[in-house]
Amino acid sequence: MNFGQFPLPPDSPSLTLVVRQTIPATAEFLFDAWTQPIRLKEWWGPSGVKCVEAQIDLRIGGKYRIGNQLADGKIIWITGVYEHIEVPRKLAYTWRVENDSGPIERVTVEFAPRDKETEVIVTHERITDPRVRDQHETGWRGCLDGLVGYASGVQSMRV
């Protein structure tokens, strides 16, 4: 589904990034951490970036908006529309920096149970520039590191 946004033109080059992290938590816990604004704000963003706001309308066609405050104080808003929701295993949504006129990218997040852990697989598609792909890789690795820390901290409070 496109929901009125701008896909890549058919002849555009497209790069894909896949980042994986195994986390000692259930798929249900991690899915909730990814889709509940109050939880997302606790871990989202690479080092030096703070999530200042998270708005999530978790339904097909629902929108999300995440405010990332950079070290210099500037806030960048990431926005998109949910295209696929399979609780607690998979999310797919469009991705764009708000007010950016570039093509819409797509992110798929899979939560794959592995014994007492879950492998989180982030696939970021429709990237048009290798430098942007590298920036996304740094961002996603930082986000997943934050999710590991969040899961470890919350899980240790439950013991």
50-56, strands of its sheet edge to edge: 15-23, 117-127, 105-114, 90-97, 75-86, 63-69, 50-56
Q: The tokens of 91 are what? A: 């999310």
Contact 67, 53 (CB under 8 A): yes
152 lies in a domain? yes
39 lies in a domain? yes
The domain of 130 spans 15-46+84-158
Query: What does the alpha-carbon distance between residue 130 and residue 29 come to, in Å, rounded to a whole number?
Result: 33
The pLDDT, as a whole number, for residue 101 is 87
2 lies in a domain? no
The H or E element spanning position 34 is helix 27-35
Instruction: Return the ∠ at Cα 16 (arms to 67 and 58), rounded to 5°.
Output: 40
Confidence (pTM):
0.89
Query: What does the alpha-carbon distance between residue 2 and residue 145 come to, in Å, rounded to a whole number?
Result: 31
Count of domains observed in the chain: 1
69 lies in a domain? no
67 lies in a domain? no
Contact 24, 34 (CB under 8 A): no
The pLDDT, as a whole number, for residue 66 is 98
Output the CA–CA distances (angstroms, integers) from residue 81 to 65, 92, 96, 153, in the order listed.
9, 9, 10, 30
150 lies in a domain? yes
Q: What is the CATH number of the domain that holds 24?
A: 3.30.530.20
Instruction: Give the residue ranges of DSSP H helices in 27-129.
Output: 27-35, 37-43
The pLDDT, as a whole number, for residue 5 is 45
110 lies in a domain? yes
63 lies in a domain? no
Q: Please report, in tens digits, the pLDDT of each residue of the chain (159 residues total).
A: 333 444 545 556 799 999 999 999 999 999 999 999 999 999 999 999 999 999 999 999 999 999 999 999 999 999 999 999 999 999 999 999 999 988 999 999 999 999 999 999 999 999 999 999 999 999 999 999 999 999 998 755 443
